[in-house]
Amino acid sequence: MERERLAKLLGMLASDQDGEVLAAARAVTRLVRDGGLSWDDLLIAPKPHKWTEAIGFPALYTAELRRRMEAERQVERWREVAEGQRRTVDGLRRQMSEHRQSVAAPVADATGHVQLDRLLAAPLDGEQRIRVEAIASWFRRTGTLTRAEQDDLARFEECLAAAA
């Protein structure tokens, strides 16, 4: 049935013109009859059939159960990934610690330059250690230091003295 047309016709029942009200009432009656409905069908909302209720609940329950099972599988998969990452980080930390111990070990007369050897054996932070090792590498090849390298070495020794 045409819902909009029915609503419009029912609205016309409130008209002040008797002829208009009568025409609207007959049109509503025709619309209901032509739609194969009764006034009970039109006024009372249909109740859901029991078989749809019987099928609907288990289907919803099954869908929710599947969703939860998949969520649990995802959680387990992410736990495995996190555990693998934790093992990787632990291994890298162990390697870093071993590297720091090997680098921090005193090296007697590694370059032949007293100040460089002292700084190589000292506990420097990451950037300072990289710079001192680069200067030492250059000194081993050339046997000379630039003014900027000498200034850096002096500054690093001052930092170590201040920290002590």
Give tens-digit pLDDT for 16-29. 999 999 999 999 99
Which helix (H) or strand (E) segment holds residue 97: the answer is helix 50-104
Query: For the CA atoms of 138, 140, 142, 146, what is the dihedral angle to 10 degrees?
Result: 50
Q: Is 122 helix (H, G, I), strand (E, B) or coil?
A: coil
Span 140-145, mean pLDDT?
87
Q: Which of 44, 31, 38, 39 is nearest to 4 (CA)?
A: 31
pLDDT category of residue 82 using cuts at 50, 70 and 90: very high
What the block records as the tokens of 155 is 């500054």
Which helix (H) or strand (E) segment holds residue 135: the answer is helix 126-142
Contact by Cβ (8 Å): 123, 106: no
Q: What is the mean pLDDT of the chain?
A: 83
Condensed to tens digits (0 to 9), the pLDDT of residues 8-61 reads 888 999 989 999 999 999 999 998 888 888 877 777 765 656 655 656 677 778
Q: Is 113 helix (H, G, I), strand (E, B) or coil?
A: coil
pLDDT score recorded for residue 81: 93
Residues in the chain: 164
| Radius of gyration of the CA atoms of the chain, in A | 44
